C-alpha cells in the first residue's frame, strides 16, 4: 500500500511523518496524471497545489477549521486528502464533481466556482464563529493571484483589514496565472515580491537553521520574521502584500517546500488576526507537458496519453473558432472594433485577434463588472467594444449591463461562449440564465446563432448596432452542422416549411433549432403539421413571428435557457400584447441547479429532447 491509500480523513495526513511527505506528494501527482488522463479535468492547477494542500490539512483541522477554495478547480488534492479516491467518473454523472461539493463531503463548503468570492465567504464564516463563542476555530481562504484581480476580493480585503482579531488566514496561491498569465498592477506587485532576493535569503537561512536545531532554530526564525513588526519591515520595507491595509503578511514562501509552507501557515494561525500567507507555486508541477504549457491547455484538459501528454480525442471545429476567425476578419475592416476579456483570452477565442491587433484588446482580469462599464466608456468615446465572456459570467455584471450600458444606450456587443447546458462543469457553469436576465433589459437585442455561419453573420449584424447593447450567445463544443433556410420571413429563417395555417409553429432558439426539426419530424409521423422557424434575433420578439403565430393552432418555443423569463415567456407576452391568444408552450431548462453530467445526459434529464417534447405536444394538442 502507498501512503495515499491509507488516507481516509485529514487526521491521517497529520499522522504521516514529515520525512515521508515528499513521497506522498509524488504519489498524489502520479495519481492525478493517471486519473485525469482517463476522464479529463483540471490537471495543471491541482499539480501546482499538492504540497500546499498537504500543509493545509496538517496545520488546520477540517472540518472544525473551515477551508474555502476560490474557484475550486484546484480542490482535487483536497478531495484525496479527505478520503475521496475514486476519480473514475470525475465530472461525469454519478461521479465526483470537478469542484468542491457539499453533497460529497463535510469538508467542502463553497461550490459555486465563480472567482473572487472566497474572501467574502471566509470573512462571513469567521465572524459567525466569533459571535458564537467559537473564536478558536480558524477559517482559511485559498485564493489565486488571478482571482485577486476580481473586485469582490478587494471589497472583502477592505473589510478584513479592520477586523483585527478575526481568526482568518488568507493563502495567496501565486502561480502567475488564472486561465492565462495574470496581468495588471497586482501582477507587477507580486512579481516584485517574488524577485526580492532579501526575502528568499533570510527565509532559506531561517528554514535551514530550523531543520538543524528545531528549538533554537524556531526562535531565530520567529525573531527574523518579527511577530510584531514582520520581515517585510526588516528586509524589504513597503514590499508586503496589502501592507498599507495593515494586514499581517508572511512570505513569499516556496509552495513546493511542504515544511516551509507548513511553517508559514502555523505562524499565520498563531498570529491572532487576519494574516496573508503568500505562497509561490508552479502550475503543472511534476508533469513536464503541463509545466511546459504556455497556452494553459492543461488548465482544463480532455483525455490524454499520460506517457506523451498528447490528447486521445482531437476536437473538431468548435463554436468559439467561428467567432475567433470572424473577429480577425472584422478587425482588418473596422479600426473601431476593440475587444475585452476577463482573464480568459484563449478560452473565449480572442487570442488570434490579440495577436493581430494587440493594442485593441484589453484583459481586465477576473473583473466582469469593470469590463462592462469600461466597454460603455469605450463605446461613448467612439469605439465598438466586444466583451467576450462565458455566459454564466454575464450574471456577475448584470447591474453594469443594465445601468451603465443599456441605460446609456451604448453600442456594446456581448459574445457569450458556453451558453445553455455545458454539463460536466456542474451547476455554476451552465449558461442557463443569460437570456432570462437579458429579456428584462430595455433596448437590448439578443441573437442565438444556430450554426457557425450564423455566428459570423450575426456578429457582423450586432456590430452595426450603435445605440444599444447586443448579445450573441452560442454553446460549448463542436459547432453544429449548417442548417439552410428554405425561405426567409423578414428577419426570420424558415427551416421547415408547412401549410399557411400549421398545427404547430415550432420556434427553435439557437442550437436548439436541430431539436425543433427533430420534433417536427416526429409530429409529422402523427399527422400533425408544423412550421419550423429560427428567429435569429430572439429578443425582442419580431413582428414577423407574431404574424406567423396568428395562423397557427399552437406555438412551441424550444430553448436551452431558463424557461422562466426566457424566450418562450417573451413570445407569450408579445403575443398577448398583440391580441394573439394562440396557446404558447415553452420548453426550456427548469428553475433548478443542474448536477454535473454530459450535455446529452442533462438534456435527457430535463426533458429537452425531440422525443420528450414531441410526446408532450401530442398530448397537449389532443386536449
Active-site option among 262, 368, 461, 559: 368
Active-site option among 79, 283, 536, 574: 283
Nearest to 173 by CA among 254, 244, 289, 227: 254
Residue 432 grid cell: 442557463
3-state secondary structure 341-361: ECCCCCCCCCHHHHHHCHHHE
Sheet holding 337-341, edge to edge: 361-363, 337-341, 384-390, 413-417, 470-473, 445-447, 537-539
Contact 348, 339 (CB under 8 A): no
Which residues participate in the annotated binding site for Mg(2+)? Answer: 145, 175
Cα(516)–Cα(609) distance, integer angstroms: 9
List Cβ neighbours of 85 (8 Å cut-off, separation of 6 or more): 4, 5
CA distances from 574 to 61, 358, 489, 550, 580 (A): 57, 43, 18, 12, 9
Sheet holding 554-562, edge to edge: 487-489, 492-496, 530-534, 504-508, 554-562, 584-589
Contact 261, 155 (CB under 8 A): no
First to last CA, the chain: 65
Q: What angle do CA 22, 7, 143 make, to 5 degrees?
A: 65
Active-site option among 396, 476, 536, 599: 396
Dihedral sign (CA 380, 382, 386, 387):
negative
Give me the residue label for grid cell 454553446: 475
Which residues participate in the annotated binding site for thiamine diphosphate? Answer: 73, 113-115, 146-147, 175, 287, 368
CA distances from 297 to 43, 290, 300, 310 (A): 10, 8, 6, 11
Cα(66)–Cα(83) distance, integer angstroms: 17
396 noted as active-site residue = yes
List Cβ neighbours of 295 (8 Å cut-off, separation of 6 or more): 346
Nearest to 594 by CA among 366, 444, 431, 456: 431
Nearest to 534 by CA among 476, 448, 452, 610: 448
Which residues participate in the annotated binding site? Answer: 73, 113-115, 145-147, 175, 287, 368
Asked whether the bond before 348 is cis by omega within 30 degrees of 0, the reply is no
| Cα 417 → chain centroid | 11
Active site residues: 283, 368, 396
Amino acid at each position: 500500500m502507498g501512503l495515499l491509500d491509507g488516507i481516509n480523513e485529514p487526521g491521517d495526513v497529520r499522522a504521516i511523518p514529515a520525512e515521508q511527505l515528499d513521497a506522498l506528494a509524488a504519489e498524489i501527482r502520479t495519481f492525478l496524471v493517471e486519473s485525469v488522463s482517463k476522464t479529463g479535468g483540471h490537471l495543471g492547477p491541482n499539480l501546482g497545489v499538492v504540497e500546499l494542500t498537504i500543509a493545509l490539512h496538517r496545520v488546520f483541522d477540517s472540518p472544525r477549521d473551515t477551508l474555502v477554495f476560490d474557484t475550486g478547480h484546484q480542490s482535487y488534492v483536497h478531495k484525496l486528502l479527505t478520503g475521496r479516491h475514486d476519480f473514475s467518473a470525475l465530472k461525469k454523472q454519478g461521479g465526483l464533481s470537478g469542484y468542491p461539493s457539499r453533497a460529497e463531503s463535510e469538508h467542502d463548503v463553497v461550490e459555486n466556482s465563480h472567482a473572487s468570492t472566497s474572501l467574502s465567504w471566509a470573512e462571513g464564516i469567521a465572524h459567525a464563529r466569533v459571535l458564537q463563542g467559537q473564536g478558536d476555530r480558524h477559517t482559511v481562504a485559498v485564493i489565486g493571484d488571478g482571482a485577486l484581480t476580481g473586485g469582490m476580493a478587494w471589497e472583502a480585503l477592505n473589510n478584513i483589514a479592520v477586523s483585527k482579531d478575526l481568526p482568518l488566514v488568507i493563502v495567496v496561491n501565486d502561480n502567475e496565472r488564472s486561465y492565462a498569465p495574470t496581468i495588471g498592477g497586482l501582477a507587477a506587485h507580486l512579481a516584485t515580491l517574488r524577485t526580492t532576493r532579501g526575502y528568499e535569503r533570510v527565509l532559506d537561512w531561517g528554514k535551514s537553521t530550523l531543520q538543524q536545531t528545531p528549538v533554537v532554530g524556531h526562535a531565530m526564525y520567529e525573531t527574523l520574521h518579527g511577530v510584531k513588526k514582520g520581515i517585510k519591515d526588516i528586509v524589504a520595507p513597503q514590499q508586503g502584500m496589502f501592507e498599507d491595509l495593515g494586514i499581517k503578511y508572511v512570505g513569499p514562501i516556496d509552495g513546493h517546500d511542504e515544511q516551509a509552507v507548513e511553517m508559514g501557515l502555523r505562524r499565520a494561525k498563531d498570529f491572532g488576526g487576519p494574516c496573508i500567507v503568500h505562497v509561490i507555486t508552479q502550475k503543472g508541477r511534476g508533469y513536464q507537458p503541463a509545466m511546459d504549457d504556455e497556452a494553459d491547455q492543461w488548465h482544463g484538459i480532455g483525455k490524454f496519453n499520460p506517457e506523451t501528454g498528447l490528447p486521445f480525442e482531437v476536437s473538431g471545429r468548435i463554436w468559439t473558432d467561428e467567432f475567433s476567425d470572424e473577429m480577425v476578419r472584422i478587425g482588418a475592416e473596422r479600426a473601431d472594433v476593440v475587444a475585452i476579456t476577463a482573464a480568459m483570452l484563449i478560452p473565449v477565442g480572442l487570442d488570434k485577434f490579440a495577436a493581430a491587433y494587440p493594442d485593441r484588446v484589453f484583459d481586465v482580469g477576473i473583473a466582469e463588472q469593470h469590463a462592462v462599464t469600461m466597454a460603455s466608456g469605450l463605446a461613448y468615446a467612439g469605439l465598438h467594444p466586444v466583451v467576450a465572456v462565458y455566459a454564466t459570467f454575464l450574471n456577475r455584471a448584470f447591474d453594469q449591463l443594465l445601468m451603465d450600458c443599456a441605460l446609456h444606450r451604448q453600442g456594446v456587443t456581448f459574445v457569450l461562449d458556453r451558453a445553455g447546458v455545458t454539463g460536466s462543469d456542474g451547476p455554476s457553469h451552465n449558461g442557463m440564465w443569460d437570456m432570462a436576465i437579458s429579456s428584462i433589459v430595455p433596448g437590448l437585442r439578443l441573437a442565438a446563432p444556430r450554426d457557425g455561419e450564423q455566428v459570423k453573420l450575426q456578429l457582423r449584424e450586432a456590430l452595426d448596432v450603435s445605440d444599444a447593447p447586443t448579445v450573441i450567445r452560442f454553446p460549448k463544443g463542436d459547432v453544429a452542422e449548417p442548417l439552410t433556410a428554405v425561405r426567409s420571413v423578414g428577419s426570420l429563417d424558415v427551416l421547415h416549411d408547412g401549410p399557411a395555417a400549421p398545427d404547430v409553429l415550432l420556434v427553435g432558439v439557437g442550437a436548439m433549432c436541430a431539436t425543433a426539426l427533430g420534433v417536427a419530424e416526429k409530429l409529422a409521423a402523427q399527422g400533425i403539421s408544423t412550421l419550423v422557424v429560427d428567429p435569429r434575433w430572439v429578443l425582442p420578439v419580431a413582428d414577423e413571428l407574431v404574424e406567423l403565430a396568428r395562423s397557427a393552432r399552437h406555438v412551441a418555443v424550444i430553448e436551452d435557457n431558463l424557461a422562466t423569463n426566457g424566450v418562450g415567456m417573451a413570445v407569450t407576452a408579445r403575443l398577448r400584447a398583440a391580441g394573439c391568444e394562440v396557446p404558447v408552450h415553452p420548453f426550456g431548462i427548469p428553475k433548478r441547479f443542474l448536477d454535473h453530467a454530459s450535455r446529452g445526459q442533462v438534456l435527457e434529464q430535463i426533458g429537452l429532447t425531440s422525443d420528450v417534447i414531441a410526446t408532450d405536444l401530442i398530448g397537449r394538442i389532443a386536449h
